[in-house]
Structure 1
Amino acid sequence: MKIALIGYGKMGKTIEKICLDRGHEIALVVDEQNANSITSKDLEGLDVAIEFTNPASAVKNYNLCFDAGVPVVSGTTGWLDQEAAVIEQMKAKDGTFFYASNFSLGVNLFFELNKKLGQMMNRFPDYDVDMVEVHHTQKLDAPSGTAITLAEGIFETVDRKTSWTLDAPKEEQLHIEAERRGDVPGIHTVKYESEVDEIVITHSAKSRQGFAFGAVLAAEFAFDKKGALNMRDLLNL
C-alpha cells in the first residue's frame, strides 16, 4: 500500500519502520515543517493515511483525507467533542474512518476484560471503583483516551457509576488519577475496593511498538472498506 504518515513524532517513526518491514511504501510524510501547506490534492491516489498528531489539528487532517477519498486511521485523542461532525463529514464524502483511543491488541483485550469484570462487580455495591493512568510528560490530554474508553466500559456495566472526574468524586462518579512522568508509554489500572479487600487489573505497555503495530494492522484492514471502524471490527470481538 501507499501510505501517508500524518504526524512524524516518535509514534510516526515507529509506524514507518513497521510499514516498511511489512512491504508498504511511505508515499507522504506530514510533519511540523509542511503541515500548513498540505492539501487534499497531496493525498489523492494514496491507499490510506495514518494520523497521530494532536487534538488541535486532528479534525482538519481527517477532513483532508475525506476530501481526497483516502481512508484515515487515527490514534489522536482529545478531539471527541467533535466526533459527531467528523462522522457526518465522513458519511457525506462516503469515506472511511478508523479510530481507536489505543491500537494495542493487548489494550483492546483489556477493554473487554474491564467490561467483564464490571458486569460481575455490578452486583456488589460494597466495592467502589477508581482508575489510575500514567503516561509520558509529552502527552497533552488528561485523562488519556484509553482511560476514557475504560471508563465508558465501566459505565456500561456498573450501574452506580455514570461519569468520570479528575477531581474529588461524588458517589456516582468514577475518579481517574492522571499521572505524567518520564517516558512511560502507558499504564492503566482499574481497582475495585471494599473495606476487606481489593481487586485490581492493570495493563502496562512496555514500548510504543504495540500501539504502532496495531495502527498498521488497522490501515491494512481499513483501506478497502467504507464507514466508521474500530478495533472491535478488526479483532472481530
Structure 2
Amino acid sequence: MNIIILGYGKMGKIISEIAEERGHTIVAKITSDNRAQLDNLDGSSVDVAIEFSQPESAVDNLSWAINQGIPVVCGTTGWLEHKHEVEQLTLSKGGAFFYASNFSIGVNIFFKVNRYLAKLMDEQHDYAIRMEEIHHTEKKDAPSGTAITLAEDIINKIDRAKRWNLDTESVENGHNILISAKRIDKVPGTHTVTYSSETDDIEIKHTAHSRKGFALGAVLVSEWIKNRKGILSMDDFLSF
C-alpha cells in the first residue's frame, strides 16, 4: 500500500518503520514544517493516511484526507470536541474514518475487561472508583485519551459514576472517577483502574513496555481499512 504519515513525531517514525518492514511505501511524511507539500500531493495515489500529529493539527489533517477520498486512521488525542464534525464530513463524502485513543491490541483487550468489570461493579456501592495514568513527559494532553476512554466506559456501565475529574479538581459525593495523571520520562503508558472499599481493593492494570505495540496496531488497522467505508473503531477491527 501507499501510505501518507500525517504527523512525523516519535510515533510517526515507528509507524513508518513498521509499515516499510511490512512491504508498504511511505509516499509522504508530513509535519507542521512541510505541510505545504499536501497542496501538490495526488490523493488518488494514496491508499491510506495515518494521522498521529498534535491536537491543534488533527482536524485540518483529517479533513484534508477525507476531502481527498483517502481512508484515514487517527490516533491523535486531545481534539475530540471536533470529532462529530469529522464524522459528519466522512459520511457526507462516503469515506472511511477510523479513530482509536489507543491502537495497542493489549489495551483494547484491557478496554473490554474494564467494561465487563464495570458492569459487575454497578451494584457495589461501597467501592470508590479511581484511576491512574502515567506517560512520558512529551505527552501534552492530560488525562490521556486512553484514560478518558476507560473512564467513559465505566460511566456508561455504572449509574453512580457521573463524570471523571483530574485529581487537581474537586470530587463531589463520591460520584466522580478521580484520575491521577503523571508524566515521567520514557514511560510509554501505564493505566490502572481501582475499585476501593474499606475491606479490599480490586485493580486492573495495563503496562506498555514500548510504543511498538501502538504503532503496529495502527499499521494493522491501515491494512484492514482499505476498501471499507464509514465510521470505524477498534471494536470493528477486533470483532468485539
TM-score by length of structure 2 reads: 0.96
Match of 1:95 in 2: 95
- Number of residue-to-residue matches in the alignment: 237
Deviation at 1:46, TM superposition (A): 0.5
Inter-partner Cα distance in structure 2 for 1:64 and 1:88: 14
Paired residue secondary structure (2:209): coil
Counterpart residue type for residue 78 of structure 1:
G
Counterpart residue type for residue 77 of structure 1:
T
Match of 2:201 in 1: 198
Inter-partner Cα distance in structure 2 for 1:177 and 1:26: 38
Query: Matches of residues 50-199 of structure 1 in structure 2 within 5 Å?
Result: 50-166=50-166, 167-170=169-172, 171-199=174-202
Counterpart residue type for residue 2 of structure 2:
K
CA 1:85 to 1:129, structure 2 compared with 1: closer, same or farther past 3 Å?
A: same
Inter-partner Cα distance in structure 2 for 1:42 and 1:99: 24
- Between stretches 165-174 and 50-59, larger displacement belongs to 165-174
Counterpart residue type for residue 115 of structure 2:
K
Match of 1:236 in 2: 239
Cα displacement string for residues 100-122 of structure 1 (whole angstroms, at most 9, x for unaligned residues): 00000000000000011111111
Counterpart residue type for residue 138 of structure 1:
E
Inter-partner Cα distance in structure 1 for 2:44 and 2:67: 9
Inter-partner Cα distance in structure 1 for 2:236 and 2:79: 21
- Between stretches 90-99 and 40-49, larger displacement belongs to 40-49
- Between stretches 57-66 and 33-42, larger displacement belongs to 33-42
- Pairing 1:24–2:27 present: no
Paired residue secondary structure (2:45): coil
Deviation at 1:60, TM superposition (A): 0.3
Paired residue secondary structure (1:44): helix
Counterpart residue type for residue 68 of structure 2:
A
Deviation at 1:32, TM superposition (A): 3.3
Match of 1:47 in 2: 47
Counterpart residue type for residue 48 of structure 1:
V
Deviation at 1:64, TM superposition (A): 0.4
Inter-partner Cα distance in structure 2 for 1:37 and 1:212: 24
Inter-partner Cα distance in structure 2 for 1:135 and 1:42: 37
Cα displacement string for residues 45-100 of structure 1 (whole angstroms, at most 9, x for unaligned residues): 20001010011000000110011110000100011101111111111111110100
Deviation at 1:27, TM superposition (A): 1.0
Inter-partner Cα distance in structure 1 for 2:233 and 2:16: 21
- Pairing 1:34–2:34 present: yes
Deviation at 1:36, TM superposition (A): 4.2
Q: Is the 8 A contact 1:40 1:67 kept in 2?
A: no
Counterpart residue type for residue 221 of structure 1:
W
- The percent identity for this pair of structures is 49
Deviation at 1:41, TM superposition (A): 4.2
CA 1:81 to 1:233, structure 2 compared with 1: closer, same or farther past 3 Å?
A: same
Inter-partner Cα distance in structure 1 for 2:150 and 2:29: 32
- Pairing 1:213–2:216 present: yes
Deviation at 1:163, TM superposition (A): 0.8
Inter-partner Cα distance in structure 2 for 1:40 and 1:129: 51
TM-score by length of structure 1 reads: 0.97
Give the unaligned 5+ runs of structure 2: none
Deviation at 1:162, TM superposition (A): 1.4
Inter-partner Cα distance in structure 2 for 1:41 and 1:212: 24
Inter-partner Cα distance in structure 2 for 1:60 and 1:229: 19
Cα displacement string for residues 176-222 of structure 1 (whole angstroms, at most 9, x for unaligned residues): 11111101110000000000110111000000000000000110111
